[in-house]
Structure 1
């Protein structure tokens, strides 16, 4: 794995872990929009778990490349679903946020 791929993967893992932790800690900048989008509160912990599992999978990908690829695909799909949720809620100004989190995961997948 190249240095670029390593750095991008670490950035993607950090961003996913940060986002997952923000849900678990009920950070206002994450949970307030979730409530506005109509995401049920009972989904918040599983969504946080999916993000942190994706982060762990990216790190595991340094040792098991297929796991890292699967984690990157999962994170891209997760954040694509977030874009769809935002569009359905008609909060178009928020679309860039999940794309910012999806970009490093997609780049890690392409560089791996």
Structure 2
């Protein structure tokens, strides 16, 4: 794995982990928009765990590359779904936020 791929993957893992922990700890800047977008509260823990699992999978991919690739695919799909959710909620000013998290996950997928 190149240095660039390692750094991008580490950044993607950190960002996904931060995002997942933010949901699980009910950070206001994350859960208020989720409620506004109509995401059921019962889903929040699962969404946070999915992000944390993706982050852990990216890190595990340093030793078992197929796990990292699968984790990157999962995170890309997750954050693409998040962007679609924001658009469907007509919160167009917020669509950049899931894209900020999608970008390093997609870059990690391409570089692996």
TM-score normalised by the chain length of structure 2: 0.99
- 2:13 equivalent in structure 1: 13
- Please report how far the alpha carbon of residue 53 of structure 1 lies from its aligned counterpart in structure 2 after TM superposition: 0.2
Tell me how large the CA RMSD over aligned residues is.
0.4
Matches within 5 A, 1:2-41: 2-41=2-41
Instruction: Tell me the SS of whatever aligns to 2:13.
Output: helix
- 2:87 equivalent in structure 1: 87
Q: How many residues of Structure 1 are paired with residues of Structure 2 in the alignment?
A: 112
- 1:75 equivalent in structure 2: 75
Cα distance in 2 between the residues matched to 1:102 and 1:66: 19
Output one character per residue of 1:54-101: Cα deviation in whole Å (capped at 9) or x when no partner.
Answer: 000000000110110000000000001001111111000000100000
Please list every run of at least 4 consecutive aligned residues from structure 1 whose deviation after the TM superposition is greater than 6 angstroms. none
Cα distance in 2 between the residues matched to 1:106 and 1:31: 24
Cα distance in 2 between the residues matched to 1:52 and 1:93: 26
- 1:103 equivalent in structure 2: 103
- Please report how far the alpha carbon of residue 17 of structure 1 lies from its aligned counterpart in structure 2 after TM superposition: 0.2
Cα distance in 2 between the residues matched to 1:44 and 1:62: 28
What are the ranges of 5 or more consecutive residues in structure 2 without an aligned counterpart? none
Instruction: Tell me the SS of whatever aligns to 1:36.
Output: helix
- Please report how far the alpha carbon of residue 20 of structure 1 lies from its aligned counterpart in structure 2 after TM superposition: 0.2
Cα distance in 1 between the residues matched to 2:44 and 2:25: 11
